[in-house]
Amino acid sequence: MDQHTAGETGRRIAARREELGISREELGERAGIGAGYIAYIEESSATITTGDLHRLAAALETTVEELLGGGDLDRPPGQGAPAAKPELTEIDREECLRLIAPGGIGRIAWYGLSGPVVLPVNYKLYKGAIVFRTQEGGLMDQDLSTGIEGVEIKVGFEVDRIDEIRREGWSVLVQGPAHRVTTPEEIAEVAAAGVETWAGGVRDRYLRITPYQVSGRRIRGL
């Protein structure tokens, strides 16, 4: 008999049940499963059989894939109801930098030749600066080139993390000049950051953002 460890799946079951506005008892009646077992699944890392998972998915008017966390790829985040009594707080600079330090995917924003532009990039926080790569001669490379030595364009760089189940998350905004790395010495230095791009292709232009202004917000339910 196939089994799955609940954990995150249990949280998704609880979130979907609350979204539908039904109790554990009502869900149990729909799925033919005891309310106590549903509580156990929602609150622990219990194992759940494939059969029970299918029954719960049907009772929750969703799919097994959704409950397992595999159905969200093409759906924008944040479509669920807000948390009860949400609280929005500011994050100080030190905590902001700590949150984005692991690297990952962020969004760079600037005012280009054709108007405002926002693009996702893979980045690393390296020696206090945000480092990422783009296509040499491409849109971003051209837009962020002033052609004047020592003059750089100020950009915005945003990173966020969203917990759909708990209806909470954080967002960090970095503002600063985007430096096009061009000299062999600079290239050798930033290449040590080990930034890889999901977009693939030849992306030999390194850019480095110095965080002049850093701000952040965190939202969570009370």
**Measured between alpha carbons, how far is 167 from 170 in angstroms, rounded to an integer?**
11
Are 61 and 93 members of one domain? no
User: Does the model's pTM come out above 0.75?
Assistant: no
217 and 120 together in one domain:
yes
d(CA 39, CA 163): 21
Number of domains in the chain: 2
Residue 73: pLDDT band with limits 50, 70, 90: low
Nearest CA to 49 out of 15, 94, 19, 4 is that of 4
pLDDT of residue 106: 97
Phi, psi values for residue 179, rounded to 5°: -100, 120
What is the domain-level CATH number for residue 33? 1.10.260.40
Range ranked top by mean pLDDT from 30-39, 54-63, 123-132: 123-132
**Predicted confidence (pLDDT) at residue 52 exceeds the cutoff of 60:** yes
Of 15, 36, 16, nearest in space to 25 by CA: 36
- Is 62 inside any structural domain? yes
Strands (E) across the chain are located at 3-5, 47-49, 86-91, 104-112, 115-126, 129-134, 153-163, 168-181, 205-209, 213-221
Task: Looking at the structure, tell me whether residues 21 and 108 fall in a common domain.
Answer: no
DSSP letters along 170-215, please?
A: EEEEEEEEEEEE-SHHHHHHHHTT----TT-S---EEEEE--SEEE
Per-residue pLDDT at 56: 92
Statement to judge: residues 96 and 195 lie in one domain: yes
Each residue's pLDDT tens digit, 85-113: 889 999 999 999 999 999 999 999 999 98
Residues 59 and 112 in one domain: no
Indicate whether 1 pLDDT > 50: no
Domain boundaries, position 114: 87-221
For helices 50-59 and 24-31, angle between their N-to-C axes, nearest 10 degrees: 110
Q: What is the mean pLDDT of the chain?
A: 88
